[in-house]
Structure 1
Amino acid sequence: MAKYIVEMQMDKQEKFYFIRENESGDIVYLPSKYLMHKKRSKISPNTIQRSAFALSYYLNFLDEKQLCLDDIYQMKYIEQHEHFTDFLIWLKAGMHSREDYLKLPNNETCNAYLKEVFRFYTFMEQENKHSESLKVLSDTQMIVRNSIGIRKVLNRKSFRGYLKEKGHQGKTIEQDKIVVLLQECANSRDQVLLLLLAETGFRIGELLGVRYAEDIDYEKHIIYVNFRDDNENGARAKNAELRRAKISDATFDILMFYIEDYKELIIGQEYLFINVSGDYVGKPFKGSGVYAMLRRLERKTGIKASPHMLRHYFANARRKDGWKLEMISQALGHRNIETTMKYLNITEDELIEVSDAFYNRHQAMYGVQNLL
């Protein structure tokens, strides 16, 4: 049995995560304080939950090695490097879980857990006013330029022992499959939900937080994302910034049909998307309900879909239509354009096609005809 476990408590619809010692029941002070710090920094509950599990895994790893947090500072560079490399190997082998059926984590996930551990060490150093930091986090300097060419110097502390990452490219869904799903939807709410995911590129937490009276411009057919952390259904925008998206006239017509069709239920609360049947009829629709709906559609059609696949569809459809990368990135609400690149499923056939088009336009660029 693991010595350190993650627990969550609800207080007025807010989630609070902390780490507890299993046998004594005592709360582990510094890691729990770090999680509260993230809560106060308006980090999303899902992110805080992942942080809590990452820290609990590391504390259990330390316990197996009969070490404590402060012991790591006393290690020499090579010892520290070996310690954190061993933690990655321990994670990769699935030692962080006692479940036999656990799917082993990929390299990206293991590295993400370790990065969270490093962030906790940095917090601990600032909180306790440590005179030294981890030796393995060497200072590196990166020079980058933004979209208009302004030079910026970034200082980062990096660890050189991470597992090799393959690079992530998310799955998308094709337009013809979206059409099939729309035809098999049980009601207009499900159709509107799929259409808005495909036409706005919003995250599901952003879309479920839309309030019909405040966040829709009915004249210009624009949907707004407003950051709120008190949504009744737990929906939450990832970044605390205002975004908006224009939808097509055809989708707006179906949106209005949905609102009219379920008007009596919708006007009884604030949210655009509500439960239209069952025990929670008239209550705000939750993420769990969305995934249950998509599983029902998969059983009917054989088509697997997720909100994130529709977000990838949004990005790729606009890339193929000629949108600039910066515009796609802004529409998706990404802070780094590198994240947007992972959404773009560029195929080898597309590269051949654009190469053919390029050579057709510029056949004579090397003056080869004069060499023959």
Structure 2
Amino acid sequence: MRRYAVGTIAEGATKYFYIRDCETMDVVLLPSKYLKHKTRSNRSPNTVKRAAFAICYYLEYLKEIPMEIEQVYQLDYEKQTEHFVDFLHWLKGGNHKQDNNLKSINNGTCNAYLEDVFRFYLFVEAEYEQLGSLKVLSYNYHVAANAVGVQKKLRYQSFKGYLKAEERNVRPAEHEEIITILQACTNCRDQLLILLIAETGFRIGEILGVDYVHDIDYQRHMVGVYFRDDNENDARAKNAEYRKAKISEETYEFLMYYLAEYRELLQHQRFLFINITGKTAGQPLKVDSVYDMLNRMEKKTQIDLTPHMLRRYFANMRRKAGWRLELIQQALGHKHINTTIKYLNIVDDELLEASQEFYEKHSAMYGVEKLL
């Protein structure tokens, strides 16, 4: 049995995370104080949730060694490095999970958990200056502004023991797969959800945060993404961005059909996507429920489909239609164009064909014949 567990408590529309000692049933104060600080700093609930689990796993690791947080500070540079590298391999080995049948955790996720642990240590150092600082982190600072213009003082991390990042090999959904899944769905809510992600390229958290009263332009058939920090289903627009996407006439008509079909449930709240059965009928749909639905569809059709694959489908379909790379980047809400490039299913044959076509049109661009 695990010693530590993540818990939540609601205060109005705000959800707070904490860590509980399962043996004593006490709240573990220092990490819980840190999580409360992150929530009050207006970090997204999913960001705080990931930090909560990362710290919870780290506490399990400390228990197994065994070691206390204060003792980590007393280690020299080499031993601290070894300590955190061992934690990464502990995660990689699946020791943080009780279910041995779970898929192997990738290196990027392990590194992200360790980064959350380092952020927790920085909080500890700010609270208890007498502990000093971790030797594996450097002391160089720079000031950077986030997506909404708020400046933060950031400390460079000199830790060199991160696992080598693996290339994220997510394929785009195929058009025929989407049609098959749509036909297998048992209700129009799930069908509309799939259609809107495929036609807008929105992230799952963004699409679940759509307010059907304020975020849909019913005249121009456009759906908008707006940042809010009070969505009760924890859905937020990433990077505090604002953008809109136009949908097809057919999907707009299907949206109207959905709104009419579930008008009695929808009228009591503002979210477009809701639970349609059971005791939670009428409440906002959450991400976990979407993945549960897609898992059921996979068992039914043998087709693995995820919201991220639908985003990549959107990107590749627009590229094939001739959209400029910058337009696709803007539609997807990417900060960096390199991220957009990774979404596009550009294969070597396409690059070869494009290069051949270019040189056929510009064969004499360097005047090489005069050099012979």
- TM-score scaled to structure 1, two decimals? 0.85
How many angstroms does 1:370 deviate by? Answer: 6.1
- Give yes or no for the alignment of 1:71 onto 2:71: yes
Report Cα offsets for 1:20-67 as digits up to 9, x if no partner: 233223322221111111111222323222211211222222233332
Matched residue type, 2:306: S
Report Cα offsets for 1:189-248 as digits up to 9, x if no partner: 333222211111112222122222111111122212223343344433334343322222
- Give yes or no for the alignment of 1:196 onto 2:193: no
1:83-122 aligned within 5 A: 83-122=83-122
**Residues of 2 paired with 1:281 and 1:2: CA distance?**
34
Name the SS for the 1:244 alignment partner: strand
**Residues of 1 paired with 2:88 and 2:227: CA distance?**
35
**Residues of 2 paired with 1:8 and 1:353: CA distance?**
55
- The residue aligned with 1:44 is 44
Matched residue type, 2:351: L
1:1-372 aligned within 5 A: 1-12=1-12, 14-129=14-129, 132-138=132-138, 156-277=156-277, 280-367=280-367
User: Structure 1 residues 173, 55: closer, same or farther in 2, change over 3 A?
Assistant: same
How many angstroms does 1:334 deviate by? Answer: 3.1
Matched residue type, 1:48: V
- The residue aligned with 1:151 is none
Name the SS for the 1:39 alignment partner: helix
Cα RMSD after superposing both structures: 3.1
How many angstroms does 1:162 deviate by? Answer: 1.0
How many angstroms does 1:338 deviate by? Answer: 4.2
- Percent identical among aligned pairs is 55
How many angstroms does 1:11 deviate by? Answer: 4.2
- TM-score scaled to structure 2, two decimals? 0.85
Structure 1, 74-83 or 101-110: larger mean CA deviation:
101-110
How many angstroms does 1:279 deviate by? Answer: 5.1
User: Structure 1 residues 66, 327: closer, same or farther in 2, change over 3 A?
Assistant: same
**Residues of 2 paired with 1:197 and 1:210: CA distance?**
12
**Residues of 2 paired with 1:276 and 1:65: CA distance?**
47
Structure 1, 211-220 or 256-265: larger mean CA deviation:
256-265
Matched residue type, 2:178: I
- For these two proteins, the number of residue pairs brought into alignment is 364
**Residues of 2 paired with 1:251 and 1:296: CA distance?**
23
Report Cα offsets for 1:312-363 as digits up to 9, x if no partner: 2122222333434443333223344444343233222222222222222222
User: Structure 1 residues 185, 98: closer, same or farther in 2, change over 3 A?
Assistant: closer
How many angstroms does 1:165 deviate by? Answer: 1.6
Name the SS for the 1:138 alignment partner: coil
Matched residue type, 1:350: E
Give the unaligned 5+ runs of structure 1.
Answer: 145-153
Structure 1, 98-107 or 196-205: larger mean CA deviation:
98-107
Report Cα offsets for 1:291-322 as digits up to 9, x if no partner: 34333433443322121211121222223334
**Residues of 2 paired with 1:213 and 1:338: CA distance?**
35
User: Structure 1 residues 297, 107: closer, same or farther in 2, change over 3 A?
Assistant: closer
* 8 A Cα contact 2:19 2:28, kept in partner: yes
Structure 1, 31-40 or 168-177: larger mean CA deviation:
168-177
Name the SS for the 2:58 alignment partner: helix
User: Structure 1 residues 58, 277: closer, same or farther in 2, change over 3 A?
Assistant: closer
* 8 A Cα contact 1:169 1:342, kept in partner: no
**Residues of 1 paired with 2:286 and 2:354: CA distance?**
43
**Residues of 2 paired with 1:182 and 1:66: CA distance?**
51
Name the SS for the 2:173 alignment partner: coil
* 8 A Cα contact 1:173 1:305, kept in partner: yes
Name the SS for the 2:245 alignment partner: strand
How many angstroms does 1:9 deviate by? Answer: 3.0
User: Structure 1 residues 291, 141: closer, same or farther in 2, change over 3 A?
Assistant: same
**Residues of 2 paired with 1:274 and 1:117: CA distance?**
35
Matched residue type, 2:225: V
**Residues of 2 paired with 1:112 and 1:138: CA distance?**
18
Matched residue type, 1:117: V
Give the unaligned 5+ runs of structure 2.
Answer: 145-153
**Residues of 2 paired with 1:185 and 1:50: CA distance?**
31
* 8 A Cα contact 2:94 2:100, kept in partner: no
